[in-house]
Amino acid sequence: MANNENLMQYRGSTPEERRANASKAGKASGEARRRKANLRQTMNAILTSEVDIPEWTPILEALGLDHTLETVISAAMVREAMNGNVKAYMAIKDVLGQTSKSDVDLEEQKLRMDATKANMGVDDDGQEDDGFLDALKSTVENDWADNNEEDGWSDENEEEEADI
């Protein structure tokens, strides 16, 4: 569990440590994205696979629907909702993008969100200016300056070479 004793201090780390940590984080993020993409691909393949379920085949044929697992699951959700299962009904509404909130509720929620954003200092585009980009810019400038000094390169040498 995260606490003050096991958290890494970013300010106290060297540029090399920050780069190494950023590299590890980027690799872990890429791996997580690949894992999620593979899961989505697998689920899509399973749900779109053809099935032959004797209970559902006549119903699907009568409705002119595909014989896929996805269609059978959707039909089963409708059947459950018809039998009074409110959770199945709510799941169907979620799939269809419907909401149980009235227009007044939605407008009130939008007004509250706008007020909260205004209090937090969030711009119209939804981005809060937390100074991260300014801090990143100064860090990049320092990193470039560190690299240039290590390589023995500077802007002054470039101007002298241009005059030659």
Report d(CA 132, CA 29) in Å as an integer: 20
What pLDDT was estimated at residue 22?
Answer: 87
pLDDT digits (tens, 9 = 90+) for 131-162: 666 676 666 666 666 555 555 555 554 444 55
How do the domains of the chain map onto residue ranges?
A: 26-100, 101-155
pLDDT digits (tens, 9 = 90+) for 60-76: 999 999 999 999 999 99
Task: Give the pTM.
Answer: 0.47
The most distant pair of C-alpha atoms in the chain lies apart, rounded to whole Å, by 88
DSSP 108-150: HHHHHHHHHHHHHTB-TTS-B--SHHHHHHHHHHHHHHHHHHH
